[in-house]
Chain A
Amino acid sequence: MSIVPSMPPIVVGGWLLLIEESEGSQNSAYRFHRLLERKGRFARKAAGSEVKEQLISANVDTAFIVSSANHDFNLNRIERFLALVNEADADPVVVITKADLADNVEALVSQVQSIDPNLSVLAVNALDVASHEDFEPWLVEGETIVLLGSSGVGKSTLANTLLGEQLQSTGGIREDDSKGRHTTTSRALISLPQGALLLDTPGMPELQLSDVEDGIHEAFSDIEKLALRCKFNDCIHGEEPDCAVQKAIQDGELSARRLANYQKLLRENALNSASLAERRAADKSLGKYYQKTQAEAVKLKGR
Protein backbone atom coordinates (compact mmCIF):
# COMPACT_ATOMS: atom_id res chain seq x y z
CA MET A 1 0.00 0.00 0.00
CA SER A 2 1.48 3.38 -0.84
CA ILE A 3 1.47 6.11 1.71
CA VAL A 4 -0.40 9.21 0.55
CA PRO A 5 -0.22 12.56 2.34
CA SER A 6 -3.90 12.47 3.28
CA MET A 7 -3.34 9.48 5.53
CA PRO A 8 -2.59 10.00 9.22
CA PRO A 9 0.90 8.96 10.35
CA ILE A 10 0.88 5.16 10.63
CA VAL A 11 3.59 3.27 12.44
CA VAL A 12 4.39 -0.42 12.35
CA GLY A 13 2.11 -2.31 14.70
CA GLY A 14 -0.84 -0.01 14.08
CA TRP A 15 -4.23 -1.35 13.03
CA LEU A 16 -6.14 0.13 10.15
CA LEU A 17 -9.45 -0.49 8.46
CA LEU A 18 -9.54 -1.04 4.72
CA ILE A 19 -12.43 -1.11 2.29
CA GLU A 20 -12.31 -3.69 -0.45
CA GLU A 21 -12.66 -2.25 -3.91
CA SER A 22 -13.24 -3.95 -7.27
CA GLU A 23 -15.17 -6.82 -5.79
CA GLY A 24 -15.38 -9.93 -7.93
CA SER A 25 -12.11 -9.48 -9.72
CA GLN A 26 -9.26 -11.78 -8.83
CA ASN A 27 -6.89 -9.14 -7.56
CA SER A 28 -8.90 -7.45 -4.88
CA ALA A 29 -7.64 -3.98 -4.12
CA TYR A 30 -8.05 -2.24 -0.81
CA ARG A 31 -8.57 1.41 -0.04
CA PHE A 32 -7.54 3.01 3.23
CA HIS A 33 -10.55 3.75 5.41
CA ARG A 34 -9.28 4.85 8.80
CA LEU A 35 -6.70 4.21 11.49
CA LEU A 36 -7.78 2.58 14.74
CA GLU A 37 -6.77 4.17 18.00
CA ARG A 38 -3.50 2.88 19.45
CA LYS A 39 -3.30 1.02 22.73
CA GLY A 40 -0.02 2.68 23.55
CA ARG A 41 2.74 4.31 21.63
CA PHE A 42 6.48 4.43 21.87
CA ALA A 43 7.76 7.83 21.02
CA ARG A 44 11.04 9.52 21.58
CA LYS A 45 12.49 12.88 20.87
CA ALA A 46 13.88 12.71 17.35
CA ALA A 47 17.64 12.50 17.18
CA GLY A 48 19.59 15.71 16.88
CA SER A 49 19.12 19.06 18.55
CA GLU A 50 15.80 19.77 16.86
CA VAL A 51 12.84 19.21 19.16
CA LYS A 52 10.46 16.89 17.35
CA GLU A 53 8.60 13.83 18.48
CA GLN A 54 9.18 10.63 16.59
CA LEU A 55 6.76 7.73 16.83
CA ILE A 56 8.50 4.40 16.95
CA SER A 57 5.78 1.80 17.23
CA ALA A 58 2.26 1.14 18.41
CA ASN A 59 0.29 -1.57 20.21
CA VAL A 60 3.11 -3.37 21.99
CA ASP A 61 2.17 -5.84 24.76
CA THR A 62 5.56 -6.71 26.21
CA ALA A 63 8.80 -4.77 25.94
CA PHE A 64 12.09 -6.51 26.64
CA ILE A 65 14.65 -4.06 27.92
CA VAL A 66 17.90 -5.60 26.74
CA SER A 67 21.08 -4.78 28.59
CA SER A 68 24.35 -6.61 28.36
CA ALA A 69 26.31 -7.89 31.33
CA ASN A 70 29.57 -6.27 30.22
CA HIS A 71 30.73 -2.75 31.12
CA ASP A 72 27.77 -1.36 29.23
CA PHE A 73 25.45 -2.38 32.08
CA ASN A 74 23.80 0.75 33.40
CA LEU A 75 20.90 1.00 35.85
CA ASN A 76 20.15 4.59 34.88
CA ARG A 77 19.58 3.52 31.30
CA ILE A 78 17.30 0.66 32.39
CA GLU A 79 15.24 3.13 34.42
CA ARG A 80 15.08 5.42 31.39
CA PHE A 81 13.65 2.58 29.28
CA LEU A 82 11.24 1.62 32.08
CA ALA A 83 9.73 5.12 32.00
CA LEU A 84 9.27 4.80 28.24
CA VAL A 85 7.71 1.33 28.48
CA ASN A 86 5.31 2.36 31.25
CA GLU A 87 4.19 5.34 29.21
CA ALA A 88 3.44 2.98 26.31
CA ASP A 89 1.25 0.77 28.54
CA ALA A 90 3.42 -2.26 27.83
CA ASP A 91 4.74 -4.81 30.34
CA PRO A 92 8.50 -4.44 30.90
CA VAL A 93 10.86 -7.41 31.17
CA VAL A 94 14.56 -6.75 31.76
CA VAL A 95 16.89 -9.08 29.85
CA ILE A 96 20.57 -9.27 30.72
CA THR A 97 22.48 -10.70 27.76
CA LYS A 98 26.00 -12.06 27.50
CA ALA A 99 25.48 -13.67 30.89
CA ASP A 100 28.18 -16.16 29.97
CA LEU A 101 30.78 -13.41 29.64
CA ALA A 102 30.34 -11.98 33.11
CA ASP A 103 31.02 -13.61 36.45
CA ASN A 104 28.79 -11.30 38.47
CA VAL A 105 25.45 -11.95 36.76
CA GLU A 106 23.69 -12.76 40.03
CA ALA A 107 24.71 -9.38 41.42
CA LEU A 108 23.46 -7.60 38.30
CA VAL A 109 20.09 -9.38 38.51
CA SER A 110 19.64 -8.35 42.14
CA GLN A 111 20.64 -4.78 41.26
CA VAL A 112 17.85 -4.64 38.68
CA GLN A 113 15.47 -6.32 41.11
CA SER A 114 16.23 -3.56 43.63
CA ILE A 115 14.59 -1.05 41.27
CA ASP A 116 11.30 -2.88 41.56
CA PRO A 117 10.86 -6.28 43.26
CA ASN A 118 7.95 -7.16 40.93
CA LEU A 119 9.96 -6.65 37.77
CA SER A 120 10.70 -9.73 35.65
CA VAL A 121 14.43 -10.15 35.05
CA LEU A 122 16.04 -12.73 32.76
CA ALA A 123 19.75 -13.45 32.43
CA VAL A 124 20.57 -15.20 29.17
CA ASN A 125 23.25 -15.95 26.68
CA ALA A 126 21.53 -14.77 23.52
CA LEU A 127 23.57 -17.13 21.31
CA ASP A 128 22.36 -20.17 23.23
CA VAL A 129 19.35 -21.70 21.50
CA ALA A 130 18.07 -23.12 24.80
CA SER A 131 17.75 -19.60 26.20
CA HIS A 132 14.56 -18.94 24.28
CA GLU A 133 12.78 -21.28 26.68
CA ASP A 134 13.09 -18.52 29.27
CA PHE A 135 11.03 -16.31 26.99
CA GLU A 136 8.19 -18.79 26.38
CA PRO A 137 5.74 -17.17 28.86
CA TRP A 138 5.76 -13.98 26.77
CA LEU A 139 5.77 -15.54 23.33
CA VAL A 140 2.16 -16.72 23.19
CA GLU A 141 0.08 -16.29 20.08
CA GLY A 142 -0.93 -12.77 19.19
CA GLU A 143 1.35 -11.07 21.71
CA THR A 144 3.36 -8.22 20.29
CA ILE A 145 6.84 -7.89 21.73
CA VAL A 146 9.63 -5.41 21.17
CA LEU A 147 13.32 -5.50 22.03
CA LEU A 148 14.65 -2.23 23.40
CA GLY A 149 18.21 -1.43 24.30
CA SER A 150 21.17 0.54 23.17
CA SER A 151 23.18 -0.50 20.16
CA GLY A 152 25.48 -3.46 20.67
CA VAL A 153 23.73 -5.16 23.57
CA GLY A 154 22.74 -8.10 21.40
CA LYS A 155 19.21 -7.29 20.31
CA SER A 156 19.73 -8.72 16.83
CA THR A 157 21.40 -11.85 18.20
CA LEU A 158 18.48 -12.30 20.57
CA ALA A 159 15.97 -11.74 17.76
CA ASN A 160 17.69 -14.42 15.70
CA THR A 161 17.63 -16.86 18.61
CA LEU A 162 13.93 -16.22 19.14
CA LEU A 163 13.28 -16.69 15.44
CA GLY A 164 15.32 -19.86 15.36
CA GLU A 165 17.01 -18.77 12.15
CA GLN A 166 19.40 -16.21 10.80
CA LEU A 167 17.36 -13.29 9.59
CA GLN A 168 19.23 -10.31 10.90
CA SER A 169 22.83 -9.75 10.23
CA THR A 170 24.64 -9.11 13.45
CA GLY A 171 27.60 -6.80 13.56
CA GLY A 172 29.68 -8.08 16.40
CA ILE A 173 30.93 -5.41 18.74
CA ARG A 174 34.31 -4.09 19.64
CA GLU A 175 34.64 -5.70 23.04
CA ASP A 176 37.15 -3.10 24.23
CA ASP A 177 34.58 -0.32 24.45
CA SER A 178 31.35 -2.33 23.95
CA LYS A 179 30.23 -0.13 21.09
CA GLY A 180 27.98 -1.85 18.59
CA ARG A 181 27.66 -1.16 14.92
CA HIS A 182 24.15 -0.19 14.01
CA THR A 183 23.02 -3.30 12.21
CA THR A 184 19.26 -2.87 12.31
CA THR A 185 17.94 -0.29 9.92
CA SER A 186 14.52 -1.38 8.71
CA ARG A 187 11.36 -1.50 10.77
CA ALA A 188 9.12 -4.53 10.62
CA LEU A 189 6.79 -6.86 12.46
CA ILE A 190 7.91 -10.48 12.20
CA SER A 191 5.95 -13.61 13.19
CA LEU A 192 7.81 -15.89 15.56
CA PRO A 193 7.42 -19.69 15.45
CA GLN A 194 5.75 -19.58 18.88
CA GLY A 195 3.01 -17.32 17.52
CA ALA A 196 4.12 -14.01 19.00
CA LEU A 197 4.96 -11.01 16.84
CA LEU A 198 8.36 -9.39 17.13
CA LEU A 199 8.60 -5.73 16.39
CA ASP A 200 12.00 -4.97 15.03
CA THR A 201 13.13 -1.39 15.46
CA PRO A 202 16.37 0.29 14.51
CA GLY A 203 18.81 0.95 17.32
CA MET A 204 18.13 3.91 19.51
CA PRO A 205 21.43 5.67 19.97
CA GLU A 206 19.92 8.81 21.40
CA LEU A 207 17.00 8.10 23.61
CA GLN A 208 15.65 11.39 24.83
CA LEU A 209 12.43 11.38 26.77
CA SER A 210 9.56 13.70 26.01
CA ASP A 211 5.91 13.64 27.06
CA VAL A 212 6.40 10.60 29.28
CA GLU A 213 5.68 12.13 32.66
CA ASP A 214 3.18 9.42 33.65
CA GLY A 215 5.69 6.75 32.69
CA ILE A 216 8.34 8.32 34.92
CA HIS A 217 5.90 8.55 37.83
CA GLU A 218 5.07 4.86 37.42
CA ALA A 219 8.71 3.79 37.11
CA PHE A 220 9.63 5.66 40.27
CA SER A 221 6.48 5.05 42.29
CA ASP A 222 8.55 4.10 45.37
CA ILE A 223 10.11 7.59 45.53
CA GLU A 224 6.75 9.25 44.97
CA LYS A 225 5.22 7.20 47.79
CA LEU A 226 8.03 8.31 50.11
CA ALA A 227 7.57 11.91 49.02
CA LEU A 228 4.00 11.88 50.37
CA ARG A 229 5.49 11.63 53.87
CA CYS A 230 7.75 14.67 53.45
CA LYS A 231 7.04 17.57 55.77
CA PHE A 232 6.61 20.03 52.92
CA ASN A 233 4.35 19.44 49.94
CA ASP A 234 6.79 21.05 47.54
CA CYS A 235 9.81 19.24 48.98
CA ILE A 236 12.48 18.71 46.34
CA HIS A 237 14.27 16.19 48.57
CA GLY A 238 17.39 18.30 49.02
CA GLU A 239 18.19 20.15 52.23
CA GLU A 240 14.62 20.36 53.55
CA PRO A 241 14.00 19.28 57.15
CA ASP A 242 12.01 16.07 57.70
CA CYS A 243 12.38 14.89 54.12
CA ALA A 244 11.19 11.27 53.93
CA VAL A 245 13.16 10.60 50.75
CA GLN A 246 16.49 11.77 52.20
CA LYS A 247 15.76 9.70 55.32
CA ALA A 248 15.20 6.59 53.17
CA ILE A 249 18.57 7.17 51.52
CA GLN A 250 20.24 7.48 54.94
CA ASP A 251 18.52 4.28 56.09
CA GLY A 252 19.76 2.51 52.98
CA GLU A 253 16.26 1.81 51.62
CA LEU A 254 16.81 3.97 48.56
CA SER A 255 19.98 4.62 46.60
CA ALA A 256 21.09 8.19 46.03
CA ARG A 257 21.76 7.21 42.40
CA ARG A 258 18.09 6.36 41.87
CA LEU A 259 16.89 9.69 43.27
CA ALA A 260 19.38 11.57 41.10
CA ASN A 261 18.28 9.68 37.98
CA TYR A 262 14.61 10.28 38.80
CA GLN A 263 15.19 14.01 39.07
CA LYS A 264 17.32 14.04 35.93
CA LEU A 265 14.66 12.24 33.85
CA LEU A 266 11.92 14.55 35.13
CA ARG A 267 14.00 17.61 34.21
CA GLU A 268 14.80 16.22 30.77
CA ASN A 269 11.17 15.34 30.13
CA ALA A 270 10.00 18.79 31.25
CA LEU A 271 12.55 20.50 29.00
CA ASN A 272 11.72 18.43 25.91
CA SER A 273 7.96 18.56 26.43
CA ALA A 274 8.06 22.31 26.99
CA SER A 275 10.03 22.90 23.84
CA LEU A 276 7.55 20.72 21.91
CA ALA A 277 4.69 22.87 23.23
CA GLU A 278 6.61 26.04 22.34
CA ARG A 279 7.12 24.75 18.84
CA ARG A 280 3.43 24.08 18.39
CA ALA A 281 2.59 27.56 19.66
CA ALA A 282 5.16 29.13 17.35
CA ASP A 283 3.81 27.19 14.36
CA LYS A 284 0.30 28.33 15.19
CA SER A 285 1.18 32.03 15.43
CA LEU A 286 3.17 31.84 12.20
CA GLY A 287 0.14 30.29 10.47
CA LYS A 288 -2.05 33.10 11.77
CA TYR A 289 0.45 35.67 10.48
CA TYR A 290 0.32 34.11 6.99
CA GLN A 291 -3.48 34.15 7.02
CA LYS A 292 -3.57 37.79 8.12
CA THR A 293 -1.09 38.87 5.47
CA GLN A 294 -2.97 37.01 2.76
CA ALA A 295 -6.29 38.49 3.83
CA GLU A 296 -4.76 41.96 3.69
CA ALA A 297 -3.31 41.29 0.26
CA VAL A 298 -6.74 40.28 -1.00
CA LYS A 299 -8.23 43.43 0.49
CA LEU A 300 -5.60 45.61 -1.22
CA LYS A 301 -6.20 43.92 -4.56
CA GLY A 302 -9.93 44.46 -4.28
CA ARG A 303 -9.48 48.24 -4.19
Chain B
Amino acid sequence: MIQPNILQNLGWQSFFQQQVSLDEWGDVTAARAVEQHRSELLVDTGE
Protein backbone atom coordinates (compact mmCIF):
# COMPACT_ATOMS: atom_id res chain seq x y z
CA MET B 1 0.00 0.00 0.00
CA ILE B 2 1.44 3.36 -1.00
CA GLN B 3 0.93 6.12 1.54
CA PRO B 4 1.87 9.44 -0.05
CA ASN B 5 1.69 11.36 3.23
CA ILE B 6 4.43 9.19 4.74
CA LEU B 7 6.53 9.19 1.58
CA GLN B 8 6.34 12.93 1.12
CA ASN B 9 9.25 13.73 3.40
CA LEU B 10 11.37 11.29 1.42
CA GLY B 11 10.75 13.33 -1.71
CA TRP B 12 7.75 11.47 -3.17
CA GLN B 13 6.15 13.51 -5.96
CA SER B 14 3.15 13.19 -8.24
CA PHE B 15 5.55 12.34 -11.06
CA PHE B 16 6.28 9.03 -9.33
CA GLN B 17 2.71 8.43 -8.20
CA GLN B 18 1.52 8.62 -11.81
CA GLN B 19 3.73 5.66 -12.67
CA VAL B 20 2.03 3.28 -10.25
CA SER B 21 -0.86 1.44 -11.85
CA LEU B 22 -4.15 0.80 -10.05
CA ASP B 23 -3.48 -2.95 -10.00
CA GLU B 24 -0.19 -2.42 -8.21
CA TRP B 25 -1.47 0.20 -5.80
CA GLY B 26 -2.59 -2.08 -3.00
CA ASP B 27 0.21 -4.63 -3.23
CA VAL B 28 3.35 -2.54 -3.45
CA THR B 29 5.35 -0.36 -1.10
CA ALA B 30 7.42 2.50 -2.49
CA ALA B 31 10.96 2.93 -1.23
CA ARG B 32 13.78 5.29 -2.01
CA ALA B 33 17.37 4.20 -2.44
CA VAL B 34 19.28 6.09 0.25
CA GLU B 35 22.65 4.40 0.43
CA GLN B 36 24.70 2.40 -1.99
CA HIS B 37 27.44 -0.05 -1.27
CA ARG B 38 29.23 -2.53 -3.45
CA SER B 39 26.60 -5.26 -3.32
CA GLU B 40 23.98 -3.80 -1.05
CA LEU B 41 21.40 -1.09 -1.39
CA LEU B 42 19.82 0.62 1.58
CA VAL B 43 16.23 1.70 0.97
CA ASP B 44 13.85 3.77 3.07
CA THR B 45 10.11 3.21 3.06
CA GLY B 46 9.44 6.04 5.48
CA GLU B 47 8.01 3.71 8.10
Contact = CB atoms under 8 A, between A and B. Distances in A.
A150 interface: no
A18 B40 contact: no
Given A1-B40, A17-B31, A144-B11, 14 more contacts: A1-B42, A13-B11, A13-B33, A15-B32, A16-B31, A16-B32, A17-B29, A18-B43, A20-B29, A30-B45, A141-B9, A142-B10, A142-B11, A189-B35
A16 B8 CA distance: 15
Given A142-B8, A142-B10, A15 B30 contact: yes
A241 interface: no
**Chain A, interface residues (CB within 8 Å), range:** 20 to 34
B31 A30 contact: yes
A3 interface: yes
Contacts, number: 95
- Contact-residue size bin, chain B (C-beta under 8 Å from the other chain): 20 to 34
Contacts of B44: 189
Interface in A169-195: 186-189, 191, 195
A195 B46 CA distance: 13
Nearest to A30: B29
Interface in A132-156: 141-144
B41 A141 contact: no
Interface of A: 1-3, 10-20, 30, 33, 36-37, 39, 59, 61, 141-144, 186-189, 191, 195, 197
Interface of B: 8-13, 15-16, 19-20, 24, 27-37, 39-45
A142 B30 CA distance: 15
Nearest to B38: A3
A30 B42 CA distance: 12
B40 A3 contact: yes
B15 A39 contact: yes
Contacts of B39: 2-3
Contacts of B45: 18, 30
21 contacts: A3-B41, A11-B36, A15-B16, A15-B33, A16-B30, A16-B32, A16-B33, A19-B29, A30-B29, A33-B28, A36-B16, A36-B30, A61-B11, A141-B8, A142-B11, A142-B13, A186-B35, A187-B36, A188-B34, A189-B35, A197-B11
Residue from the set B13, B30, B32, B40 with the largest chain A CB neighbour count within 10 Å:
B32
B1 to A, nearest CB: 9
A4 to B, nearest CB: 9
B32 to A, nearest CB: 5
Given A1-B40, A1-B42, A3-B41, A15 B31 contact: yes
Top 6 nearest A-B pairs (CB, nearest first) are: A189-B34, A17-B28, A188-B35, A14-B33, A18-B29, A144-B11
Nearest to A58: B33
A5 B35 CA distance: 18
Contacts of B29: 17-20, 30
